[in-house]
Amino acid sequence: MQHVILVTGAGKGIGRAIAFAFAQAGRHNPDFDPLLVLCSRSITDLESISLECRAEGAITETVVCDLGRIEEARGLASHILDKYGTIDCLVNNAGVGRFKPLADITEEDFDFTMATNLKGTFFLTQALFKVMEKNRSGHIFFITSVAAGKAFKHSSVYCMSKFGQRGLVETVRLYARECNVRITDVMPGAVYTPMWGVVDDDFRSLMMMPEDIAHPIVQAYLQPGRTTVEEIVLRPTRGDIQDE
Ligand SMILES: NC(=O)c1ccc[n+]([C@@H]2O[C@H](COP(=O)([O-])OP(=O)(O)OC[C@H]3O[C@@H](n4cnc5c(N)ncnc54)[C@H](OP(=O)(O)O)[C@@H]3O)[C@@H](O)[C@H]2O)c1
């Protein structure tokens, strides 16, 4: 059966691993044909992950979109619905972070973070949830963070945005339970991705890898429709990395 799956921020890091894990699952499961819509702002990243997913047998489409621009987020939703007529799974993964001491955060840092993590996530979800509600089926994953429930000293605005996403998750869940839509809040600790910039080997050894997050997500999606994995919390075995 074909599943229309949108992965935002699919070009790098966790989103890239999620897209690839869905494609791999399609190769191993004759009843699961993923049609992956891969979105980010960088076409070269999207083209390379698209090729990797196609090599696993998945159908893919790449869409360059800046979710921090509301008209583009809404345009992405309309494009998917016009082209495929439906959406089965939305993975709200695209996110940004600027990590600095409180005193160094600028208004531009604030607006940049909130535009993608909160505004973009909200309006994309709003547009696609409407269709899932009507269909009485669908699954939305939110890749929030352990920083959605715990403060880190150099992450003030990032934490604000992630605590805010948590508010959205819990609100959407109230609607979703009434219409058979599944909601999963994915809260990873530190994962080795481009978001962290350059890190040395010792630091890297304290982190998880993107595929460690991707596989539980795909497993949650492939649960029987009667079952929702509501929360996935994944931490490095040695605990959270402190930022002080
Ligand atoms: N890495 C961690 O330790 C960690 C831990 C917990 C939660 N998370 C969360 O997991 C998610 C993915 O993080 P990551 O570490 O994989 O980050 P990453 O390596 O920086 O990748 C982020 C992806 O999102 C895309 N993106 C960013 N802003 C976008 C926008 N406005 N519109 C469309 N695409 C956008 C990026 O591509 P372009 O820049 O090309 O658009 C990129 O493909 C984020 O929500 C992050 O907060 C990460």
Determine whether 61 is exposed, middle or buried from the number of CB atoms within 10 Å of its CB (0-12, 13-18, 19+). Answer: middle
C-beta of residue 94 within 8 angstroms of C-beta of residue 110:
no
Give the position, in ligand 1's atom list, of the atom nearest the Cα of 115: 31
Per-residue model confidence (pLDDT) at position 242: 77
Mutational pocket test of ligand 1: of 18, 37, 41, the residue with most ligand atoms within 8 Å of the beta carbon: 41
CB 45 less than 6 A from any atom of ligand 1: yes
| Cβ(94) – ligand 1 distance below 6 Å | yes
pLDDT digits (tens, 9 = 90+) for 113-165: 999 999 999 999 999 999 999 999 999 999 999 999 999 999 999 999 999 99
Residue 234: per-residue pLDDT: 98
Closest CA to 91 of 160, 41, 138, 53: 138
pLDDT, one tens digit per residue, over 161-190 is 999 999 999 999 999 999 999 999 999 999
Q: What's the whole-number average pLDDT of the chain? A: 97
The most distant pair of C-alpha atoms in the chain lies apart, rounded to whole Å, by: 54
Q: Could you tell me the distance, in angstroms and rounded to a whole number, from the CA of residue 144 to the centre of ligand 1?
A: 11
Q: What percent of the chain has pLDDT over 70?
A: 99
**Residue 244 confidence (pLDDT):** 59
β-sheet bridge partners, residue 92: 142
Residue 82 C-alpha to ligand 1 middle, in angstroms?
Answer: 26
Residue 202 CA to ligand 1 center (angstroms) comes to 23
What are the helix (H) ranges across the chain?
13-28, 43-55, 70-84, 107-114, 121-135, 156-177, 201-204, 210-221
Tell me how far apart the alpha carbons of residues 132 and 87 are, in angstroms, rounded to a whole number.
7
Average pLDDT over residues 198-208: 95
Cβ atoms within 10 A of the Cβ of 241, count? Answer: 15
Taking residue 196's Cβ as centre, other Cβ atoms within 10 Å add up to 16
Any idea of the CA torsion for 199, 16, 179, 162, to the nearest 10 degrees? 20
Strand partners, 139: 89, 182
**Model-level pTM?**
0.98
* Ligand 1 close to Cβ of residue 59 (< 6 A): no
- pLDDT for residue 243 is more than 90: no
Asked whether 15 lines ligand 1 (CB < 6 A), one says yes
Domain 2-234, CATH: 3.40.50.720
37 vs 86: CA distance, rounded Å? 12
* pLDDT at 213 > cutoff 70: yes
- CB of 11 within 6 A of ligand 1: the answer is yes
Domain ranges of the chain: 2-234
- Would you say residue 54 has pLDDT above 70? yes
